[in-house]
Amino acid sequence: MKKLSCLWAVMMIALSFGGCAKAPVEEMDNAAAAVTRAENDPDAAAYAQETLILARNALANMQNEAAEKRYDSARAYAAEAVRAAERAVSDGRAGAGRAREEAAALLALLPGAIAETGQTLRAAEGKKLDLDLEALETDMEYVRRTADQAAAAAAADRNKEALELGQAARSALSQINAAISEAAVLASRKK
């Protein structure tokens, strides 16, 4: 009986050591690698910042849980970090594609809009409207220069920059056209 009790005690001790949870090292390494890949992906960094933050937070939570030896929770956060990192890369690619399409569409319209505003400005000059023509010509130069910079950025696949520059050029054109329209309305009221 004494031998049975000793055997039982040895088995319980062996089971308790065998039953100890181990840190999910492989899952944690995979999570860290996935988040690093996402952080180094330029499209994810530019277009999926919120998802990247979720991946970083899950990674930090994973590390905290592992430090507290809550390995099941650490494993769950590791999986969450991998999913969020992969989604950041995917969202980044999608965002870059949208920016490329939007920039291309805007840049395709700018030359015609610039030419049309230039003609409107020359017509306003001929009508002797009350305009600061020198300032408007300076604004037109800004538009042309910005449109050229947008085209160069698009050619270099810097689509976010191209879109922002194209939008700035379009906005400046709108302001020029608004100034000409306002001067035309004021001139017609004086007659």
Mean pLDDT, residues 64-93 taken together: 96
Same domain, 106 and 173: yes
Confidence of residue 19 (pLDDT cuts 50, 70, 90): very low
Higher pLDDT, residue 6 or 139: 139
Domain boundaries, position 159: 97-190
Sorted by sequence, the CB contacts under 8 Å of residue 175 that are 6+ apart come out as 139
The pTM of this model reads 0.69
Sorting pLDDT into bands at 50, 70 and 90, what band is 148? very high
Same domain assignment for residues 57 and 115: no
Q: Give the residue ranges of DSSP H helices in 40-70.
A: 42-47, 49-67
Mean of the per-residue pLDDT values of the chain:
88
Check if the beta carbon of residue 182 is closer than 8 Å to that of residue 153.
no
Is residue 97 pLDDT above 60, yes or no? yes
Q: Are residues 71 and 130 in the same domain?
A: no
